[in-house]
Amino acid sequence: MLSGGDDYELVFSAGRARRDAITRLARRLRTKVTRIGKVIRRRKGPLVTVLDASGRPVAVKSKGYEHF
């Protein structure tokens, strides 16, 4: 799921202050929206960390499909 196959979902980010507005809009449009993560400011470490359901980091070995 993280590194191959087709993409069927849209992903976007929004500030915490917009959370309620997004929830209301999703209800009005009858569109399911699922919060899957958060953006945090970091000075060191990886740019993206994938966590499992328990909150532990997952090592992602494959980097996805190379188009060129």
Q: Where are the domains of the chain?
A: 1-68
Q: Are 24 and 14 in contact (CB under 8 A)?
A: no
Query: 6-33, pLDDT tens digit by residue?
Result: 667 778 889 889 999 999 999 999 999 9
Token representation of residue 33: 């929206």
Residue-wise pLDDT tens digits, 55-68: 898 887 776 666 67
Residue with tokens 């069927």: 8
Q: What's the predicted TM-score (pTM) here?
A: 0.55
Pairwise CA distance, residues 67 & 57, whole Å: 27
Looking at residue 12, its pLDDT comes to 86
Using the Cα atoms of residue 3, residue 36, residue 50 and residue 55 in order, give the sign of their dihedral: negative
Which pLDDT score, from 0 to 100, does residue 54 have? 92
Say which residues have a Cβ less than 8 Å from residue 63's Cβ, sequence separation at least 6.
3
- Asked if residue 2 has pLDDT above 80, the reply is no
